[in-house]
Amino acid sequence: MDNAINPALVVVWGGFVLAFIFGAVANKGNFCIMGAISDVVNIGHWGRMRMWLLAVAVAIIGANLLHYFGQVDLTKSVYQRPVLPWLSLLLGGALFGVGMTISAGCTNKNLVRLGGGSLRSLVVLVFLAISAYMTLKGLFAQWRSSYLDPVAIDLTTLGLANPGLGTLVAKFTGLPGPTALLATLGGVGVLLLAFVFTDARFRRNQVQVIGALVLGLLVVAGWYLTGHLGYGENPETLEMAYFATNTRTLESMSFVAPTAYSLELFVLWTDKSLRISFGIASVAGVVLGSFAYAVVSRQFRWEGFASLQDLRTQLTGAVLMGFGGVTAMGCTVGQGMSGLSTLALGSFLAVASIVAGAVATMQWQQR
């Protein structure tokens, strides 16, 4: 990489641009994974669910092709660690699902709403960030690290170098790793695309189809940005490193932990050890992208809490999302798109738990 180019700046500004587009497209297409689950449970409508699954399919195909051709190494992402903290993924995912349902929106949806003028979402995001920060470094972190994360499976003892679905296929079929990855990629991609496009009404909805394609490609672009353009020699240590990411490895779109890091940066602004990261830039990008679309489309409007009960419910959901999102290593976008794009077994587990928690809460609300 050209020494005149600062890779950290490339990652930060690139992350902002990608997230800006993400926020604008999510606002225009009414993209909301919690809403997609709600549509299926409450009215039997699969439009937004198909939009999510199409975005996941594009992300899976694109990310794994990058990995196959050696442009990025997905096995170094946090989703592909050989130790599988199954209890954290299950409990964290379920609590996040409950929290986003009673708050009527996940982290990404609240960022999009904030850009559209929702002061309610601003309050939700602040409490979510506090809860997430406490789960990363505070009181909740003590509980998580002492009682949840140690309950895990070391996959290396089972002969698996990482928790990727392709690795599992290679283990049981005897296929070479790259061949197994392509076979897995083809199978998963074909199944998802076949399900998505069997519905004629969805095929005719250009906003959802194009929006899903763009959102999926943005996840792929995030991996390329942090895992290729942002990977190089650290001039201070002379070792290869990933620049401007909070996990110190490659990342893509995820919003729970980055809200906590954003709050930390604002609170400790004069701490020179803190820097704007890919995740922090992504949080700002989604809000401003949504704001730009809301202004251009004349949909921007201020919004507050409907009642004191609404405030209590929203704050409860925010705390659950903050704790659950960090414990499950991601939200509906962090695990539900970026994590799934790596074909990590833990991501499938976390997403299934998020959906289960959301569905159970919706059914309880109906009763």
What pLDDT digit, counting tens, does each position of 223-250 carry? Answer: 999 999 999 988 888 899 999 999 999 9
pLDDT at 2 exceeding the cut of 80 = no
DSSP 4-38: TS-HHHHHHHHHHHHHHHHHHHHHHTT--HHHHHH
Least Cα distance to 59 among 163, 51, 15 occurs for: 51
Domain membership of residue 64 (yes or no) is yes
Domain holding 170, by residue range, is 7-366
Domain membership of residue 129 (yes or no) is yes
Residues 64-82, mean pLDDT to the nearest whole number: 96
What pLDDT, in 10s, does the model give residues 52-65? 999 999 999 999 99
Confidence grade of residue 3 (pLDDT, cut at 50, 70, 90):
low
Confidence grade of residue 363 (pLDDT, cut at 50, 70, 90):
very high
- Predicted TM-score (pTM) above 0.85: yes
Structural contact between residues 182 and 65, judged by C-beta atoms closer than 8 angstroms? no
Cα–Cα–Cα angle for 248, 254, 260, rounded to 5 degrees: 75
Domain membership of residue 1 (yes or no) is no
Domain membership of residue 40 (yes or no) is yes
Residues 289-316, mean pLDDT to the nearest whole number: 94
* Torsion sign, CA atoms 259, 207, 355, 15: negative
Domain membership of residue 2 (yes or no) is no
Checking 360-363 for CB contacts under 8 A at 24+ apart, the result is 360/97, 360/98, 361/97, 361/98, 361/101, 361/102, 362/37, 362/38, 362/41, 362/42, 362/101, 363/41
Domain membership of residue 229 (yes or no) is yes
Residues 169-179, mean pLDDT to the nearest whole number: 92
Domain membership of residue 63 (yes or no) is yes
Total tally of structural domains belonging to the chain: 1
Domain membership of residue 231 (yes or no) is yes
